[in-house]
Amino acid sequence: MATRMKLKLKTVFVLYFMVSLLGLIYALMQLGQRCDCTEHDLPKDRTISRLRGELHRLQEQMRKSEATKQPLKQAAKLSPPTIFVITPTYARLVQKAELTRLSQTFLHVPQLHWIVVEDSPHKTPLVTDLLVKSGLTYTHLHMPTAKDRKLQEGDPNWLKPRGVEQRNEGLRWLREDRRAQPGGDTQEGVIYFADDDNTYSLQVFEEMRSTQRVSVWPVGLVGGMKYEKPVVEGGKVVRFHTGWRPSRPFPMDMAGFAVSLKLVMANPEACFDGEAPMGFLESSLLQGLVTMDELEPKADNCSKVLVWHTRTEKPKMKREEALQAQGIGSDPAVEV
């Protein structure tokens, strides 16, 4: 009895062993095959692996930039000088569009500090929200233009100078309030007056970064010409190529020069003169800062156009006005 049972047990064991071994081999063979249920997962996992690769790449870049930033924070002299861009702006239909595409350009420029000065008695929510969402380093200021200095509806653009009080307010902030901020003691920086309807290439910011006193370059589509530019001989500016009133001390556009922060701080009285005759606005500031032979020509000895004085058309609102007269204008809650 015992032996028979023993024998049976032995066979049971052997059978069991064989069955489980076969099952194991079958399972292993299954792994070697493509199975329908895993087909869908393949692309997902491949994308995960690619995302991981990108993640690693971005992290590496970040680590590199952090590594270069850390010692820079201690030795401020080594960091690239900050470009302070002063932009006066005022509320009109295309304001949000202009500031949006301007911020898209600025977002590519490292070490840029945007100073937006609204022509308004208080900060508007439109500009506030836009600046917050832009991702840029910014300062939001406001300074209303005095009524008698302001352009009225129907006035031609050249009748009164625009943006004077706002630009001066930007300069004042740089001279006074910025000092109070951490890191505000550094005088390394370049100031650029960028109007909100011009077009800027990314190269112009790199050209102006090395400004020691005042640097200049050509501006496209201004002064009734394809471009206006300083004429450079022997590495120095000798005169200006312009089609309109070339006898001005500095016959160039606001977008055609940049001033070093140091120079502005060293001359606390230098600012834009709102009473200056038409076209003399730029000269009113630069006269007090620099002479023509001290100007630094950029953009390949002033031979390339890197900034354009574009102007945006006022959108036609005839139908809108007609609707509003009927009381069924477009929803004012929708911000344009």
CA dihedral 223, 151, 169, 115 (to 10 degrees): -70
Residue 332, Ramachandran bin (φ over 0: left; ψ between -120 and 50: alpha; else beta): alpha
Answer yes or no: are the C-beta atoms of 231 and 238 closer than 8 Å.
yes
Q: Which stretch binds another protein (CB under 8 A): 113-121, 162-170, 193-201, 286-294?
A: 193-201
Among 121, 224, 234, 327, binds another protein (CB under 8 A): 224
Site for another protein in 242-271 (CB under 8 A): 243-244
Query: By CB under 8 A, how many residues form the interface with another protein?
Result: 86
Structure tokens at 148: 């008698």
User: Smallest Cα–Cα separation from 305: which of 222, 194, 211?
Assistant: 222
Among 28, 75, 146, 180, binds another protein (CB under 8 A): 28
User: Smallest Cα–Cα separation from 254: which of 198, 318, 328, 178?
Assistant: 198
Q: Which stretch binds another protein (CB under 8 A): 120-128, 226-234, 253-261, 262-270?
A: 226-234
The number of residues making up the chain comes to 336
Among 135, 249, 268, 277, binds another protein (CB under 8 A): 135
- 158 touching another protein, by CB under 8 A: no
- Smallest distance, Å, CB 207 to another protein? 15
Structure tokens at 131: 């600046």
Q: Point out the catalytic residue in the list 282, 294, 296, 321.
A: 282
Among 94, 265, 276, 292, binds another protein (CB under 8 A): 94
Answer yes or no: are the C-beta atoms of 257 and 191 closer than 8 Å.
no
Q: Which stretch binds another protein (CB under 8 A): 77-85, 115-123, 141-149, 197-205?
A: 197-205
Tell me the C-alpha distance between 186 and 91, whole Å: 33
Among 79, 120, 186, 199, binds another protein (CB under 8 A): 199
- 4 touching another protein, by CB under 8 A: no
- 11 touching another protein, by CB under 8 A: no
Tell me the C-alpha distance between 214 and 229, whole Å: 15
In one-letter notation, the amino acid at residue 56 is: H
Q: How does DSSP classify residue 93?
A: T
- 132 touching another protein, by CB under 8 A: no
Is residue 167 a known part of a binding site? yes
Site for another protein in 97-116 (CB under 8 A): 97-98, 100-101, 104-105, 107-108, 110
Among 7, 15, 50, 91, binds another protein (CB under 8 A): 50
275 is catalytic: no
- 233 touching another protein, by CB under 8 A: no
- 300 touching another protein, by CB under 8 A: no
Tell me the C-alpha distance between 90 and 84, whole Å: 19
User: Smallest Cα–Cα separation from 68: which of 79, 82, 55?
Assistant: 79
β-pairing verdict for 137-142 and 112-118: parallel
Catalytically annotated residues: 282
* Residues placed in the known binding site: 88-90, 119, 162, 167, 195-197, 309-311
* Residues placed in the known binding site for Mn(2+): 197
